[in-house]
Amino acid sequence: MDRIKTLIFLAVFLFVSTGEVYSETVLPYSVHWIDMELEVSGYEDIVPADRGNYMEWQHEAAVRAQSKMMRNFVQAMSYVRIDAYDFFRDLLLREVEKNEVLFEYTQSYKKSHIRYSEGTVYITKSFPFFGEKGFAWRLINTGVDVGNFPNYKEYVFSAPFTGLVIDARGIGRQPSLCPRVFDELHQTVYSIDLIEKEAFQKWGAVQFTEDPDYARFEERVGKNPYRVVALENEKLIETDITISNEDTKTLLQSDITRKNLMEGKVLIVIDGVSETTFRF
């Protein structure tokens, strides 16, 4: 890393560590939980100068807008929730080396949308969390205890399921990249520790939707998922979910079902997940 790159990297880290807070009405970024991406924007006015022409002034404004957009991307790390305890900012402060990983990612991700008005340049980028171009899986550690689901002595008649669908509507649950699912005894039924790294890289731990028929995501959870209703549990942090012991026993009887869970074939139906906080 050369000197200029190092200085930029340090500036990014210092900006993350400031913990500035903005009003939700002016946030230039938003999380699209259904599409699993972070949308970030920046804009700058085109300022005429004594020298040059309008095209040059446009270009200069675009450069400034790009810089502002990247600052907004870093600021967004304080708002994108990983799990019950951490936002990305917490992770980056705790594991400083991952700031460089994030910096390298932002420099290599070129896809953007540029829009010009009469006097302003707007630049927007949508950064996917997962997939080949995603950034979340580059920062979040997964798969430290793959397949170690809880064991229940009682036998429950069951069948292999192609995935899991949890209806968590109406109980105040909030989306995060790595939610946990517990039984009524507070044993961990599902978390990123239990799933394969390749699955997390592909599409994350869970898919969120508002649609109880989950038409867009049938491929993920298959034709015969186990459908359960989440239990209200005021003791849990709002990103986590409780399901009944009976549902858990039924779910985990089959090795085939366990394998599908290890591959991240989980969908959570939740209220208001498509709403975004993007504003200018």
pLDDT digits (tens, 9 = 90+) for 43-89: 999 998 888 898 899 999 999 999 999 999 999 999 999 999 999 99
pLDDT level of residue 278 (50, 70, 90 thresholds): very low
Residue-wise pLDDT for 106-135, tens only, equals 989 888 899 988 899 999 999 999 999 999
Confidence band for 154, pLDDT divided at 50, 70 and 90: confident
Q: What is the pLDDT of residues 27-53, one digit of tens each?
A: 789 999 999 999 999 999 999 888 889
Q: By the 8 A CB rule, do 227 and 266 touch?
A: no
Banded model confidence at residue 276, pLDDT cuts 50, 70, 90: low
The answer to whether the beta carbons of residues 280 and 43 sit under 8 Å apart is: yes
Predicted confidence (pLDDT) at residue 164 exceeds the cutoff of 80: yes
Residue 136 has pLDDT above 80, yes or no: yes
Burial readout 18-52 (b: 16 or more C-beta within 10 A, e: otherwise): eeeeeeeeebbbbbbbbebbbbbbbbbebeeeeee
Residue 17 has a pLDDT of: 47
In the predicted model, what is the mean pLDDT of residues 182-210? Answer: 97
Beta strands 37-45 and 120-128: pairing type? Answer: antiparallel
Q: What average pLDDT does the chain have?
A: 88
**Residue, of 126 and 14, whose pLDDT is higher:** 126
Residues 103/9, Cβ–Cβ less than 8 Å: yes
Nearest to 42 by CA among 27, 20, 22: 27
- Residue 20: pLDDT band (50, 70, 90) is very low
Helices of type H across the chain: 3-18, 54-76, 88-94, 97-108, 136-139, 197-203, 218-221, 245-251, 255-262
